[in-house]
Structure 1
Amino acid sequence: MEPSSAKSWSIHSRPDIIHKYEILERVGSGAYSDVYRARRLSDGVIVALKEIHDYQSAFREIEALQILQGSPNIVVLHEYFWREDEDAVLVLEFMRTDLATVIAEAKKRGSDGVESGRGLAVGELKRWMIQILSGLDACHRNMIVHRDLKPSNLLISDDGMLKLADFGQARILMGPDYVESNEISQPCEINSSDQVPSSQPSAVLPGTESSVREGNRTEEQEPISKEEYFRVLDELKAKNSANEFDKETCTYDGDTSCLATCTTSDLEDDPFKGSSYSYEMEGGVPADDGHGSLTSCVGTRWFRAPELLYGSTSYGLEIDLWSLGCIFAELLTLEPLFPGTADIDQMSRIFATLGNLTEESWPGCSELPDFQIISFNTIEKPIGLEACLTNCSSDEISIVKRLLCYNPANRATAMELLQDKYFTKEPLPVPLSELHVPSTKSGQDEDSPAGWYDYNESDSDMDEIGPMNVTTNATGYSIQFD
């Protein structure tokens, strides 16, 4: 991809940044951010500069990465620049490739020289899985739900270290009272060499600028009261948002992370967006309103949990576990498990494999916002996960099954899976040095909205679905799909 003229890039007009970094090239672009490869002038280290044009995404990514600082399987935030009248620019460690490329190259290699019917040796597979689990465990221990886990957001360094990235959709599942003291400090300075997790989450105030000096707070960074913090935060939100709800409820920027070549996420343009396909005449857009409310319109469709597809806004960490099951299945087969072309098609693929979502499979599922609005014909004989995971061991199938449960409470946690016997059996996980690490990300138009995969999306879910019955009810419509 040819970079744009330097004069047209707003990042080049930021003296605080160009004083410390030489911007080499733009390497990726998404709906709400741009990523540049840069050289730190003080020591020549190559970094990624992620310029985020959306206030909420920037705030959440900085907040999550500060909390997770020191976790070995989380991408490192070196520092960030953010003033009230400018976009946030995150300085992240530069990682050349991602798990999507690992899968793509393994698929190209086929089974030649590896194991019959498989593109990834079991030892490699286990090492990748352990690293993903470790990163997710770090998130969930800190009550952070990522909300957009997928192979292209799992970045990989040249030495095989895998790290979770792109926390623009992440949420901390705690209210304001999670702060242990009566004060919230401004962001601490972060050093990439520091490997000591912070003792408590650091709140981030936009309009401040952080720089790296030994991982300590500078003397001029005075703490502010909790009340003042939330007052300023509310003012900034009102100034930066023309809507009453979070932009992410209708748009995504899932892949603009610190990857050398980044892509855009699963951009959706369908009539179900915003109202969780309810078509209710009095329905509204679910909101991340800044006061703890969640939205169901997050994540990339192929990895989206059923509760999100049915419009839930009261979900928890378990939505990441469903995504994890989809990722593991793809690692095992080198093919996406549920490659839905639209949200309704996504649901039908899940049901065809696992069976219908019922009160028996998930007590309480009938209370999901859209459960009474959308219905499918009964699947008499679902194909089952075993049919999708051919050439996989019983242990591997078991792990995927423990994640892809309708009832979120039954999904195995990352911590539980890290202790699974599968990882202590022969063949053992290989050392990082024995992993096949692609030299670069797969060649694809980085500005393509299709991202890493060919979604072949239509403009409407209706284009992808067969016969359906629409009936009216007290609140709007009810749609049944064959």
Structure 2
Amino acid sequence: MGTEHPSKSWSIHTRSEIIAKYKVMERIGSGAYADVYRGRRLSDDLTVALKEIHDYQSAFREIEALQMLQGSSNVIVMHEYFCREDEDAVLVLEYLTTDLATVISNAAKEGFPLPVGEMKRWMIQIISGLDACHRNMIVHRDLKPSNLLISDSGVLKLADFGQARILTEPGFDAFEGNPPPCEHDGSNHESSLHHPEASLLTDNLSQFGCGNQEQGSSHNEYFSVLDELKTKRSVDDIEKDTNIPDGNTSCLATCTTSDMDNDPMRTSFSFEALEEEDKEHGGFTSCVGTRWFRAPELLYGSINYGLEIDLWSLGCIFAELLTLKPLFPGTADIDQLSKIINVLGNLDERAWPGCSELPDYRIISFSKVENPPGVEACLPNRSADEVSLVKNLVCYDPARRATTMELLQDKYFNEEPLPVPISELRVPLTRNTEDEDSMGGWQDYNDMGSDSDFDDFGPMNFTRTDTGFSIQFP
């Protein structure tokens, strides 16, 4: 197997319980905390992806989320998984050969927009997959085109749940009715991970149609229960969130890249302090997701967020489908904020009541943007309904973002041209491989954190305050 597969006690190639059922073939994705291999199931020759996860938190999250989402047609299938106390978890996943990033990049190379009927079908599938997550109160936290994998037949599936979190409430067992925890005697059979922090909110969410319930509830009730959930989260549910990036990893078969390890802002104002604050106050970390799709509340250091961050990411993905280029391609976190503010205008209490309470709101400020062009300026030659769809997601106030339930009922998808059948979608044969270490073959995605956040801005005003300091950018 050469140097590509070093012999280690946890190596997938030495696991008797795995090689008895699967032939492990070439490695198709590799990062600091996960490796993905193409495999073949011996019983029926089915091609699978074997994801070996070296980080406990990521493995736990992905397994827990995928267990809850089994049966969702637009979420990647986890056939089984292997877990032992002294070994890395190995997930046996559906093998999908391409992704939405490749669909977008291929269309951009051809120089023609995606046909509206095809675009609508891609959008509906994305919304359906995210709706399954949100009905189960799962926040994906890393939605982007390269994490939307596509089967040969055109079925799109959400993948890579290593950063996902389940919004929890003390007193409910997330594994109720599931198999027992990992065996401690070293037995080889696959089993369910157990974690003392895992619990699932059920009673208060039945009104939404979570899980298999019928959907109900209004937009306001939806966020009302979400707010109640946040306030009830106890110190016992503290985010022990390593959010460890996967380094330069192929997105194929759900092993992806993150820019967080190179983020220059981690050594500046709030990120280091936030990791400790998260533990004290039961919040999440703000360092999640890929920068181009990261909601502004995360960029301002929020640790009290929920499903709404996925909705912002969804809007950015839709905009990219419409224009074939990223909506906010920031080169660093400050540049990301700058690009958003230059389009939407300055973030203030009128745009989002309560935004002044964001951890970094008083630390970072920008010069006043006069007459911001708005999202419509970024979507030239698109219909009013298409612009409205994006604007209802890419807005400052999280409570104003359209929910997945509302999106599925949007008139846009019921008007001519109608969404094409899945069988008529043009599916790339494979994902782009121009740069196997970039996400979805887009070199730009991987070039987001190598330089200083401040280099691109020239002069800036640095002011000491009673609580620390403030930085004003032109």
Structures share a fold, TM > 0.5? Answer: yes
Q: 1:210 to 1:59 in 2, by over 3 A?
A: farther
Aligned-partner residue type, residue 131 of structure 2: D
Q: How far did 1:435 drift? A: 0.5
Aligned-partner residue type, residue 54 of structure 1: D
The yes-or-no answer on 1:383 pairing with 2:373 is yes
- In 2, the alpha carbon distance for the partners of 1:439 and 1:104 equals 13
State the partner residue of 2:57.
56
TM-score for both structures, normalised by structure 2:
0.84
- In 1, the alpha carbon distance for the partners of 2:285 and 2:198 equals 23
Q: Deviations over 1:300-324 (max 9, x none)?
A: 0000001000000000100000000
- In 2, the alpha carbon distance for the partners of 1:357 and 1:77 equals 41
TM-score for both structures, normalised by structure 1:
0.82
State the partner residue of 2:225.
none
Q: How far did 1:5 drift? A: 3.9
Q: 1:164 to 1:346 in 2, by over 3 A?
A: same
Aligned-partner residue type, residue 196 of structure 2: F
Aligned-partner residue type, residue 455 of structure 2: D
Aligned-partner residue type, residue 273 of structure 1: R
Aligned partners of 2:260 and 2:288 also within 8 Å: no
State the partner residue of 1:230.
196
Aligned partners of 2:102 and 2:440 also within 8 Å: no
Correspondence list, 1:35-434, <5 A: 35-111=36-112, 119-179=113-173, 184-187=176-179, 205=182, 230=196, 245-248=240-243, 251-253=244-246, 259-260=252-253, 262-273=255-266, 277-278=269-270, 283-286=273-276, 289=279, 293-434=283-424
Q: 1:139 to 1:292 in 2, by over 3 A?
A: farther
1:477 aligns to what SS in structure 2?
A: strand
Aligned-partner residue type, residue 105 of structure 1: N
Q: How far did 1:205 drift? A: 4.9
- In 2, the alpha carbon distance for the partners of 1:401 and 1:150 equals 18
Q: How far did 1:393 drift? A: 0.5
Aligned partners of 2:103 and 2:428 also within 8 Å: yes
Q: How far did 1:185 drift? A: 4.8
Structure 1: gaps spanning 5 or more residues: 112-118, 189-203, 234-243
- In 2, the alpha carbon distance for the partners of 1:473 and 1:290 equals 24
- In 2, the alpha carbon distance for the partners of 1:159 and 1:346 equals 36
Q: 1:151 to 1:473 in 2, by over 3 A?
A: same
1:163 aligns to what SS in structure 2?
A: strand
The yes-or-no answer on 1:479 pairing with 2:471 is yes
- In 2, the alpha carbon distance for the partners of 1:369 and 1:229 equals 30
Aligned-partner residue type, residue 350 of structure 1: I
- In 2, the alpha carbon distance for the partners of 1:272 and 1:184 equals 40
Structure 2: gaps spanning 5 or more residues: 200-238
Q: How far did 1:448 drift? A: 4.8
Q: How far did 1:449 drift? A: 8.0
Aligned partners of 1:264 and 1:451 also within 8 Å: no
- In 1, the alpha carbon distance for the partners of 2:138 and 2:183 equals 20
2:128 aligns to what SS in structure 1?
A: helix
Aligned partners of 1:326 and 1:336 also within 8 Å: yes
Q: How far did 1:299 drift? A: 0.4
Aligned partners of 1:92 and 1:258 also within 8 Å: no
Q: How far did 1:82 drift? A: 1.2
- In 2, the alpha carbon distance for the partners of 1:3 and 1:287 equals 45
- In 2, the alpha carbon distance for the partners of 1:288 and 1:279 equals 10
Aligned partners of 2:249 and 2:438 also within 8 Å: no
Aligned partners of 2:431 and 2:441 also within 8 Å: no
Q: 1:72 to 1:449 in 2, by over 3 A?
A: closer
Q: Deviations over 1:30-55 (max 9, x none)?
A: 23111000000011000000011111
Q: 1:78 to 1:7 in 2, by over 3 A?
A: same
1:472 aligns to what SS in structure 2?
A: strand
Q: Deviations over 1:171-205 (max 9, x none)?
A: 0011232339xx845538xxxxxxxxxxxxxxx65
Aligned partners of 1:51 and 1:88 also within 8 Å: yes
Aligned partners of 2:250 and 2:439 also within 8 Å: no
Aligned partners of 2:31 and 2:249 also within 8 Å: yes
- In 2, the alpha carbon distance for the partners of 1:290 and 1:163 equals 36
Q: Deviations over 1:68-108 (max 9, x none)?
A: 11110000011111111111110000000000000011111
- In 2, the alpha carbon distance for the partners of 1:125 and 1:84 equals 45
Aligned-partner residue type, residue 40 of structure 1: R
Q: How far did 1:7 drift? A: 4.8
Q: How far did 1:247 drift? A: 1.9
- In 2, the alpha carbon distance for the partners of 1:4 and 1:158 equals 32
Q: 1:206 to 1:354 in 2, by over 3 A?
A: farther
Q: 1:205 to 1:139 in 2, by over 3 A?
A: farther
1:470 aligns to what SS in structure 2?
A: strand
Aligned partners of 2:274 and 2:301 also within 8 Å: no
Aligned residues: 430
- In 2, the alpha carbon distance for the partners of 1:301 and 1:229 equals 29
State the partner residue of 1:201.
none
The yes-or-no answer on 1:468 pairing with 2:434 is no
Aligned partners of 2:432 and 2:440 also within 8 Å: no
Aligned partners of 2:246 and 2:255 also within 8 Å: no
Correspondence list, 1:3-22, <5 A: 4-8=3-7, 10-22=11-23
- In 2, the alpha carbon distance for the partners of 1:472 and 1:140 equals 41
2:454 aligns to what SS in structure 1?
A: helix
